[in-house]
Structure 1
Amino acid sequence: MTDLRRFGEWALITGGTSGIGEAVAERLAARGFNLVLVARRAAELERCATALRAQHAVEVRTRALDVTQADFLSELTSLTDTLDIGVVIACAGGGDLDAFTDRPLANHVAVLQLNATASVVLLHHFARRFQGRSNRGAIMLFGSTMGLHGIPYGATYSAAKAAVIALGEAVNAELKDAGVYVTVVSPGPTATPLVVQNPDADLMSLPIKPMAVGAVADEALKALMRNEPHHVVGRLNRFMGNLVGRRILSRRASVGLWGALLKKALRPSASGALRPM
């Protein structure tokens, strides 16, 4: 496995103030990386930055940004262009759970922008930048086990994550010989507050119980260090995705099964706000 410090002294993490992103930030800081944290909420950014500086004596810069905005890259690069960024963790993501036609079109477009378009933008920018560096770089994108096939009641989110998986696998192959690492990590249910207490659905009733956030972060970083094109996190998630979805059940039957489980888990419709997953 490659020591990620070979790529540079700085790591950029979008969605770095909660859940998996926050856990990855803590682990990279513990390895001596200086960090650029990007998220929407300035107060949460400052909380995380203060804790990381105190615990690990690293430099942490923050920027409150919404990666669904068309001009987010220009604002981000004004912060990162002068830094020795060697690792990029594109962790910002989210969605909502409901019947496809029960949410307005704007929700679905926002899900695509947050999960898929932002990944394309970040990957394109930093892959080109890393190609011009002698020590190259590493980029982690986030898929999901919901992107392994269509998931009713999470249709657009699963479609967006499927696109990210295909994107990362393809670009990994293109850049492998150039020394630029690209890994897509697909967690299953993870014990973040918005999974444990999701306002759209009782996700704790599903047959796969959430993994600990720290365990997901550890496995994700190991996959990036190995430059795996796509890594499904967790043995049970790999079993369900690879064995159940493709060998015991047909793809159609697996889609139907997960649709039935999520339909049963849905709560009465809430605000329709886009939420991190």
Structure 2
Amino acid sequence: MASSLRQEPAASPAWFASLAILGALYVAPFVFRLFAHLALYLRRPKDLRRRYGAWAVVTGPTSGIGRSVALELARRGLNLVLLDLNAANLLEIAETIRSRHGVKTKTVLFDLSSVATPQGDEAMARLREAVEGLDVGVLVNNAGVARPGARYLHEADVEAWVRMIKVNLWAVTEVTAAVLPGMVERSRGAVVNMGSASSEAIPSFPLYTMYAATKRYVAQFSRSLYVEYRSKGIDVQCQAPFYVATRMVSRLSETSRLALLLFAPAPDAYARAAVRWIGHGPPLCAPNVSHQLLWCLAAVLPVPVHDWLRLRHNLRHRDLFHGPSSARAVPKIK
């Protein structure tokens, strides 16, 4: 009779149940973000022209992400005001956009590193003149400077840091301030500022310290503007990508070939996701699915591990970009 009795399974220890609950609570936000991201692709794409306006302003549209975003916006039917510092490149992208998509274009020659100078004031006046009377619905602050990179702070000229600050921080502020009044008057618009996962998903980004710091400003700037202007019908967003396969990161393939292959989308693929994300989600986002996965993975690692891995990795960038001799100035980590 005893042999017919069934043994009840042992109850799980209380500590195990507690850990399971904590683990589920920790993972839940990341799972929710991924599902929310995937759900976006099941929705019908937003008609940006109808929702925001007929024109878009894009800075840095002649190469990389900016070029692809400009072409994607034109494919969606938006006319474009294009800002860049190279006249020949501006004419080329404007002609490419017109021939491919049949939309209108305007070009504004503007070296964004000249802000807060007489030359910069003249360029800003040309921008205001170019957008006067236009139904500008979308602004994409894409232009950015990543050089000097893979350097200790003391190794680069102060002038180089100042140029980075002017383009990545100051120009974003001035261009936004120039375009926003028209959006406020029409009670609609979208501002997209290109940030970086280096300042949002990763605790530190050594040897690219100034770059990450300027992008942190962009993220906070965007978050606050989102709160200020959402009641006025204006969506403000900071898109914070990881690597995209542009010329800016092409040399990294020697040290990060597999990671770039798996997680660095081509500019056109990134632009499709970026434009589709306009007007959706929180003020800080990573539009690409692979970048969302990286963001979730980055959140799992402890900060000291992040710091150790990132410094080690970026020191390899330093050797690659500036030669092994540059490493003798500051000892490498072991």
Tell me the TM-score normalized by structure 2: 0.74
Residue 107 (structure 1) aligned with residue 157 (structure 2) = no
**Which has the higher relative contact order, 1 or 2, with Cα contacts under 8 A spaced 6 or more apart?**
1
**Residues paired across the two proteins, number:** 263
Superposition CA RMSD, Å: 1.9
- Tell me how far apart the structure 2 counterparts of residues 188 and 204 of structure 1 sit (CA, whole Å): 17
Q: Is the contact between residue 183 and residue 223 of structure 1 (CA under 8 Å) also seen in structure 2?
A: no
**SS in structure 2 of the partner of residue 132 of structure 1:** helix
Matches within 5 A, 1:108-147: 108-134=161-187, 136-147=188-199
Per-residue displacement from partner, 1:123-178 (whole Å, max 9, x unpaired)? 233233311114x1111100011122331110100001111111111211221222
Structure 1 residues 204, 86: closer, same or farther in 2, change over 3 A? Answer: farther
* Preserved contact between residue 169 and residue 229 of structure 1 (Cα < 8 Å): yes
Greater Rg by CA: 2
Mapped contact 1:182–1:227 kept (Cα < 8 A): no
The reply to whether residue 166 of structure 1 matches residue 220 of structure 2 is yes
Q: Displacement of 1:227 after TM fit?
A: 5.3
Q: How far apart, CA to CA, are the structure 2 residues paired with 1:113 and 1:252?
A: 31
- The residue type paired with residue 84 of structure 1 is D
The structure-2 alpha-carbon separation of the partners of 1:265 and 1:203, relative to structure 1 and needing over 3 Å to count, comes to farther
Which residues of structure 1 form unaligned runs of 5+?
271-277
Q: Which moved further from structure 2: 102-111 or 207-216?
A: 207-216
Q: One-letter code of the match for 1:261? A: H
1:47 corresponding residue in structure 2: 92
Among 223, 236, 240, which residue is 2:294 paired with? 240
Contact between 2:255 and 2:316, CA under 8 Å: does it hold in 1?
Answer: no
- Please tell me whether residue 60 in structure 1 is matched to residue 114 in structure 2: no
Other structure's SS at 1:88 match:
strand
User: Which structure 2 residue ranges, 5 or more long, are not aligned?
Assistant: 1-44, 116-120, 324-334
SS of aligned partner of 2:143? coil
Q: Are 1:20 and 2:36 matched, yes or no?
A: no
Output the CA distance in 2 between the equivalents of 1:50 and 1:189: 28
Aligned 8 A contact 2:128 2:179 in 1: no
1:205-257 per-position Cα deviation (integer Å, ceiling 9, x unaligned): 2363121111211111122131530112433433333442x3x3223431332
Shift of 1:204: 4.7
**CA displacement at 1:57 relative to structure 2:** 1.2
Is the contact between residue 46 and residue 62 of structure 1 (CA under 8 Å) also seen in structure 2? yes
Structure 2 partner of 1:208? 259
